Structure 1
Amino acid sequence: MTQAVGRHRMPEPAFAQPRTPREIYTVMAGLMLAMLLAMLDNMIVGTAMPTIVGELGGLAHLSWVVTAYALATAVATPIWAKLGDLWGRKGVFMASIVVFLIGSATSGLAQNMGELIGFRALQGIGAGGLMVGAMAIIGDLVPPRDRGRYQGLMAAVMPIAFVGGPLLGGFLTDNFSWRWAFYINIPLGVLALVVIWFTMKLPVRRREARIDWRGAGLLAVAISSLTLLTSWGGTEYAWGSWQIVGLGVLAVVAAVLFVLAERTVAEPILPLGLFSSRNFTAAVVLTFLAGFAMFGAVTFLPQYQQIVQGASATDSGLLLLPLMAGMLVTSLAGGQFVTRTGHYRWLLIIGSFVMAGGLFLLSTMGVGTSTLTSSLFMVVLGVGMGFLMQTTMLVVQNSVEMKDMGAASGAATLFRTIGGSLGVSLLGTLYATRLESSLADQLGAAAGGQVAGGQLTPAMLAQLPAPIREAFQAAVASGVGSAFLWASVVALVAIVAAVVIRQVALRSAADSVAAHAPEPVAV
């Protein structure tokens, strides 16, 4: 079985051969395009979401459009990571782009909520390969200590996606159709495929491919059962119903069987030995919680902005800029700090405190909260997440041997996505429950249920009678506040995980050359 590295690392394979900056920049060009593809999708769809769910099925389905994507990404991530380890990252990375584009095209063609959820799941399968592939490729090419100088390139994608994505999503929704939020991925994806095909040369190891399909299946059952439990509990079914209890039992049994299977299989999809590293385990917990916070913010903030604050889809994109700016600035500053000093522990501790504080501040928003106040709250959350997003992945990759780089990157991406999936489903349940309860108190059970379950887009809201419109806005504000309050409680665990992490010297190029192994074949 693959074993992780403890605090005293044994010699390991080198980074193939020290590459010139020009060679690395060439490879990074393809990665930047692919990452832009994934980042743009999340940002574009976020601002279009209120209109999408309003047209196809109502607010009760909001979390499922996001959850289907996140859940599929979580299940697919370790499979893509293992395929990259076994068959080479370039071909597998390109295959994930193709799957993502097929999912994008079919999502744009969806005629009802069921189709959209299914096609979003297909899109999520491809997205799992995009995320883990890019991170693993960077880990293969650049030692952790030297990675900060190249993170500026990856960070350059962020302002384009974070600023342009919400604006583009809002513009397309207001002036064309929400379907173009998915179609826009196609030309960008084709360009990424062309660039990657002609420019990317990666080190690979020729090995016989053995995929742990049993482990993948058990993992999918465990994650799916847990996501359905958190999404359906208290809304579709009572918490004590046989459906919810059955899902809980199924999730536990599948998880236990998965652990047992991973202990015996030759090529585990998630090597359990990785978790013998204290830093690796704590960093994975942090990635889980960062995903929880980010997916929740991107999902529920547009609801608040468009329904409560009366912003258009385009304006909603602009109103997300404080969150994205906070993430961008601290991510860049944190990367430079780690490169120059080699220290990262305090960044994680500070980021955890600030993220929890930002979520709590967002929970205090109400109908009368000004745009300036909510923007300042978003800056706080963005600053906290920015300190965590890149630094946690660096700790993960520095805690394992080079041969486990893909599996480790996949594990971190997997848990970040699981955090997002569970976060959206659980927070979505809290949001929907609070929304319906508030509407029932103000309008009565029958009228409140009809308003909550109807096909109501932000544009339709202005046409409602004032008492109903005001009651609905108050209910949405209450639901969003409840979701963020519970998210802030969960985020407190991040502080504990950050404190647990120890400061360990980052690998440098010199460390890798000292442990040099025969150069792999370049393809």
Structure 2
Amino acid sequence: MSTTTDAATPTPGVSLTHRQIMTILSGLLLGMFLAALDQMIVASAMKTIADQLHGQTLQAWATTSYLITATITTPLYGKLSDIYGRKPMYLAAISLFLVGSLLSGIATSMYELAAFRAVQGLGAGGLMSLAFAIMADIISPRERSKYSAYFMAVFGSASVLGPVIGGVFAGLSSFLGVTGWRWVFLVNVPIALLALFVVARVLNIPHQRVNHRIDFGGAIALTVGLVPLLIVAEQGREWGWASATSIAMYVIGVLGLVAFVWVENRMGDEALLPIRMFRNHTFSLGNTINFVLGVGMFGGMVSIPLYLQIVKGVTPTTAGLMLLPMTFGIMSATAIAGKVTSKTGRYKVFPIIGAGLMAIALFLLSTIGTDTPSW
């Protein structure tokens, strides 16, 4: 992804003051707060939402549809912003997130909610990736670590506030005449409107167009590969894992993934996920670890609030509060690892320790039952 011509990139004699940078960052931080908050706020409210929409067995789709569209669109935003500029694409991302939030807040079924969450994901894919791209455009490499602290603070705040706010809204029968759980999504609307206003006013940096081929084929192939596999994961127990329908989903999914690899090879460096990157041992190993740990992390984020509410019988608000140790652990580990890495330049030990701790934690969580003490 190429950067635009601006203060931090190589236009002689051009620079931004700290105040100008902070003015621009204010809009970016609002967008990042939206994306970070939404990852956590839904978890503690999902049982209430699924009960209200009569779709407890479908609740996973409200999470996975968001993650699929966000994942697929993240690299597309980078290429499109190189062509059309950071500002219009960031405004488009906020607008899509705003529309998706509003629609999710008025959903009448779990199928509708899953579809509207997918729209949210279309916007979320650009909120974080473009925020970091714009930061790289306007801030020199030497100064970026200083300003990255603001992003970490926003992400940490959203991670702490999300489960609590989600639990509080889910625990309310109504708020301002609207069913409580709907505010889990509607709370994004005023924040998104403010972000739109701020970004439209302050994000004025020069843009130098860089043409790219957009890998729409890869995005479609990846969707075809993932969605059938998710469908059979959701419905396989009801259909039968070896039924004709399940086998058809397996075949379509595998063909989609094979097509994705083929398309990525054809696209070369313009691919959504350039295959050549996997020839780098560090990249391959790091992403394999991230994939495995991501399964455990997101599985825990979704499952633990459901366990607390369904099995232990706690309220959504209490379930949100009981997620705080996890968010504090994430924030503390991130801060410590970042500080030590910046001072020593060594990072290998942290993925090893992190993977080990998560393996132990997930094993212990697999042993819990109806009589497990809350502590």
Please give the range of the TM-score, normalised by the shorter of the 2 chains: 0.7 to 0.9
Query: Displacement of 1:297 after TM fit?
Result: 1.6
- Match of 2:227, SS? helix
The residue identity in structure 2 corresponding to 1:16 is T
2:202 to 196, 199, 202: 199
1:348, CA displacement in angstroms?
1.6
Matched residue, 1:185? 188
Does residue 261 of the first structure (1) align with residue 279 of the second (2)?
no
1:132 is matched with 129
Q: 1:32: Cα distance to partner?
A: 1.6
Determine which structure has more spread, i.e. the larger CA radius of gyration: 1
The structural deviation recorded for 1:284 is 2.1
| Contiguous gaps of at least 5 residues in structure 1 | 3-13, 373-523
- From 358, 375, 396, the counterpart of 2:361: 358
Structure 1 distance, partners of 2:134, 2:369, is: 44
Alpha carbons 1:148, 1:339 under 8 Å: kept: no
1:151 touches 1:335 (CA, 8 Å); kept in 2? no
TM-score, length-normalised on structure 2? 0.87
Distance in 2 (alpha carbons) for counterparts of 1:157 and 1:315: 23
Q: Is the 8 A contact 2:32 2:155 kept in 1?
A: no
Could you tell me which of 291, 304, 310 is aligned with 2:294?
A: 291
Aligned pairs (5 A) from 1:465-484: none
Per-residue deviation at 1:303?
A: 0.9
Taking the aligned partners of 2:371 and 2:142, their CA distance within structure 1 comes to 47
Equivalent-residue separation in structure 1 for 2:251 and 2:280 (angstroms): 29
Q: Assess, with a 3 A threshold, how the Cα gap between structure 1 residues 263 and 25 changes in structure 2: closer, same or farther.
A: same
Query: What is aligned with 1:242?
Result: 244
Distance 1:45 1:65 in 2: 9
Partner of 1:424: none
Cα distance change of structure 1 residues 78 and 224 upon mapping to structure 2, 3 Å threshold: farther
2:51 pairs with one of 54, 62, 68: 54
* 8 Å Cα contact 1:16-1:203 kept in structure 2: no
The unaligned stretches of length 5 or more in structure 2 are 2-6, 175-179
The aligned amino acid for 1:265 is M
Whole-Å separation in 1 of the counterparts to 2:72 and 2:111: 20
1:45 paired with 2:42, answer yes
Please point out which of 301, 313, 318 is paired with 2:316.
Answer: 313
Contact 1:68 1:121 in 2 (8 A): yes
For residues 115-155 of structure 1, the C-alpha deviation after alignment (integer angstroms, 9 at most, x for no partner) is: 11211111122112223223433455557776443332112
Of 67, 75, 79, 2:76 maps to 79
Structure 1 position 32 matched with structure 2 position 29: yes
Partners of 1:22 and 1:276 in 2: CA distance: 42
- Change in CA separation of 1:249 and 1:31 when aligned onto 2, cut-off 3 Å: same
**1:150–1:220: structure 2 CA closer, same or farther, 3 Å change rule?**
same
2-side partners of 1:230 and 1:113: how far apart?
17
| Kept after mapping to 1: 8 A contact 2:31/2:195 | yes
Q: Percent identity?
A: 40
- Amino acid aligned to 1:294: M
Change (3 A) 1:286 1:199: farther
Corresponding residue for residue 232 of structure 1: 235
CA contact (8 A) 1:167 1:318 kept: yes
The equivalent position to 1:217 in structure 2, one of 195, 220, 228, is 220
Give the Cα–Cα distance (whole angstroms) in 2 for the partners of residues 252 and 159 of structure 1.
37
Deviations 1:357-407 (A, max 9, x none): 2212222222222222xxxxxxxxxxxxxxxxxxxxxxxxxxxxxxxxxxx
- For residues 381-396 of structure 1, the aligned pairs below 5 Å read none
TM-score (norm 1): 0.64
3-state DSSP of counterpart to 1:173: helix
